[in-house]
Amino acid sequence: MLTHQNLVANICQTTRLFHTSERDRSIAVLPFFHIYRLVVIMNLVLERGATIVTMPRIELHEFLRVIQDYRITRAAVVPPIVLALAKHPLVDEFDLSSLRFVGSGAAPLSAEL
């Protein structure tokens, strides 16, 4: 069971690791009940006073459009999304130059990826 103290401690740990600032804009596509989205995306970003742009579900075209249009700087995602960002031809149609950080969690990535 996660306690309030566990969550606060985890925010303190991740602030030193992820270097998020109030100028950042993070995209949130994972469910908020998942610990990765709860801590790394929601709690950390809110603690730093940054912006969260939420999406109800992942659809690659809309995900890429949101990154481009909102000038997203941080994307904490899962391996299937990393795979799409690395290999899907649709990615080349969007300007993702605002991204400074793309992190992946919930499962390992292959060495090839």
CATH assignment of the domain containing 32: 3.40.50.980
User: Tens digit of pLDDT for each residue in 19-35?
Assistant: 888 999 999 887 777 77
In this structure, is residue 111 part of a structural domain? no
Q: Residue 70: inside a domain, yes or no? A: yes
Is position 24 within any domain?
Answer: yes
Q: Tell me whether residue 113 is in a domain.
A: no
Tens-digit pLDDT profile for residues 48-99: 889 999 998 889 999 999 999 999 999 988 888 999 999 999 999 999 999 9
- Identify whether 112 is part of a domain: no
| Within a domain: 52 | yes
Residue 27 token pair: 């995209």
Number of domains, the chain: 1
The residue among 43, 49, 34, 51 whose CA lies nearest residue 13 is: 43
Give residue 75's domain range: 4-102
